[in-house]
Each structure stands twice: as structure tokens, then as C-alpha cells.
């Protein structure tokens, strides 16, 4: 289960006291459990408040509606992915990998496997426009981080490397989603072909 860290921008009100912050964290944890167990369709303000042991009125103070809960979860998941990417970058700077593309895909396949709530939200049709906007910004940051990973692995810095890494991330993200859409462990054939495609694409970068 993810440790949820919520960007303040998605909240109606930012909790100031430790107890309030703990209560809000509990709300998001319970929302995560609910969609992992029952799907996003089951997510309602009443169910989330009851599971977290608070009143609906208290929940409304921080998250005004169901869409806000979805956006809070999306922001938390994306922050977790970016944290994983930061860890990969540290490793990439400390060691040389035989297969950077495979290492990259394997790391994020693990997140898809270990976070059923993330899968249920991201592979369904329930992302709000706010969540999609967060995802667009996230993809750009991930592409920039991938660029740093490739530079750390010895790829030559050229004027098209930024765009190449953006395309590589979009390719990898699309393959990952399809691989896990019907198989919670990830379709091994799709993941294998994703590695081949990314490996070939990034290898031809000047």
C-alpha cells in the first residue's frame, strides 16, 4: 500500500495540526483501499468518511467532492512514481546498467503490481480533467528525469535528447498500461516487447 503524500494544491484546506494531518492521511488510505477492493465506482464521500471514522462534514473541509478525492489520490500516486524515478537516477549515477531500458520498465512494473488502487484508478475511465492535467505535467517531469538517467548511463547529450526521452517515456507508459489492463501481474509478452522497443529506440540516439 502506498504511503500517500498529498500536494497542498489539491486540498480545499490544508490541515495545520498533526491530528488533522493524520486524519486526512487516513481518509486517503481508506479511499485507496476502497478502490483497490471494489473499484472506483464504489468511491463515495459517505463510504470514505465512514471507513476513515470521520463525519462527511469533516471530510468536506479538506476534499469537497469525489473528484477531489480522485485528484488527491492521483497526485499522491504520481508523487510516488517520481520518487521512484529519483531513486533510479541516484542508482544510474552510481552504477552502469547493461540494459537501462529494461531496468526502467522493471522498476515501474513493480509499482503496477504492488498498488492495486493505482491500477484501478489509472486503468479505468474515472480520471478527472484535473487528474489528467496532473498526469500531463508528471509525464514531462518524468521525461526530463529519464534524460538525466540516460546521461548518467553514458548517452551523448544532443539537442534532440530531450524530445527522444519524452517519446521514450510516452512509449513505455502506454505499453505499461496495456500490459496491466487485463493482467494484474502484467502481460509478460507485452512487457518483453516494450523492453525491446525502448532498448532499440534509445540505442540509436546519437
Query: Domain end: 24, 41, 62, which one?
Result: 62
Average pLDDT of 131-148? 93
Residue 3's pLDDT band (boundaries 50, 70, 90)?
very low
Going along the chain, which residue ranges are E strands? none
Asked if residue 87 belongs to a domain, the reply is: yes
Asked if residue 50 belongs to a domain, the reply is: yes
Same-domain check for residues 85 and 41: no
Whether 205 shows a pLDDT value over 70: the answer reads no
What pLDDT digit, counting tens, does each position of 71-116 carry? Answer: 888 988 898 899 999 999 999 999 998 888 888 888 889 889 999 9
User: Model's pTM, two decimal places?
Assistant: 0.84
Domain count, the chain: 2
- CATH, residue 15: 1.10.10.60
- The percent of residues in the chain predicted with pLDDT above 70, rounded, is 91
Cα–Cα distance, 92 to 100 (Å, whole number): 9
pLDDT for the residue numbered 15: 65
Same-domain check for residues 12 and 52: yes
Grid cell digits, residue 183: 493482467
What are the C-alpha distances in Å from 160 to residues 1, 98, 105, 164?
Answer: 38, 23, 22, 6
Q: State which residues form the domain around 42.
A: 8-62
CB atoms within 10 A of CB 51: 15
Longest dimension (CA), the chain: 58
Same-domain check for residues 102 and 192: yes
Amino acid at each position: 500500500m502506498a504511503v500517500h503524500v498529498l500536494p497542498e494544491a489539491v486540498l480545499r484546506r490544508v490541515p495545520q495540526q498533526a491530528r488533522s494531518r493524520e486524519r486526512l492521511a487516513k481518509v486517503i488510505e481508506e479511499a485507496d483501499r476502497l478502490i483497490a477492493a471494489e473499484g472506483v465506482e464504489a468511491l463515495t464521500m459517505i463510504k470514505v468518511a465512514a471507513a476513515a471514522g470521520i463525519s462527511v462534514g469533516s471530510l468536506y473541509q479538506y476534499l469537497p467532492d469525489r473528484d477531489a478525492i480522485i485528484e488527491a489520490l492521483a497526485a499522491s500516486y504520481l508523487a510516488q512514481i517520481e520518487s521512484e524515478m529519483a531513486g533510479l537516477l541516484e542508482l544510474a549515477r552510481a552504477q552502469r546498467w547493461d540494459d537501462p531500458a529494461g531496468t526502467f520498465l522493471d522498476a515501474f512494473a513493480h509499482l503496477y503490481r504492488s498498488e492495486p488502487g493505482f491500477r484501478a484508478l489509472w486503468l479505468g475511465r474515472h480520471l478527472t480533467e484535473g487528474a489528467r492535467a496532473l498526469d500531463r505535467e508528471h509525464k514531462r517531469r518524468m521525461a526530463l528525469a529519464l534524460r538525466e538517467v540516460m546521461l548518467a548511463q553514458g548517452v551523448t547529450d544532443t539537442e534532440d535528447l530531450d524530445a527522444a526521452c519524452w517519446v521514450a517515456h510516452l512509449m513505455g507508459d502506454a505499453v505499461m498500461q496495456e500490459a496491466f489492463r487485463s493482467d494484474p501481474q502484467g502481460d509478460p509478452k507485452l512487457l518483453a516487447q516494450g523492453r525491446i522497443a525502448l532498448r532499440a529506440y534509445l540505442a540509436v540516439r546519437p
